[in-house]
Amino acid sequence: MIRHGETALNVKGCYYGRTDAVLSEKGISQARYLKEILKEVSFDYIVASPLVRAYNTAQIVMEEREQEIFGDRRLMEQDFGIFEGMTYKEIQNTYPKELDAWNEEFSTYRIPKGESFAEAWTLNISNTQIGGDILAVSKIDKLNIADSEDIKPVTHYNATYINKEDFINILGENGEIVILNMATGEELG
Q: CA-CA distance, 156 to 50, in Å (whole number)?
A: 13
Catalytic residues: 4, 77
Residue 73 CB coordination number (10 Å): 9
| Long-range residue pairs from 144-148, CB within 8 A, at least 24 positions apart, any chain | 145/182, 148/182
> Residue 102: which H helix or E strand, with range?
helix 96-104
Q: CA-CA distance, 153 to 126, in Å (whole number)?
A: 10
Q: Determine contact, residues 45/75, Cβ cutoff 8 Å.
A: no
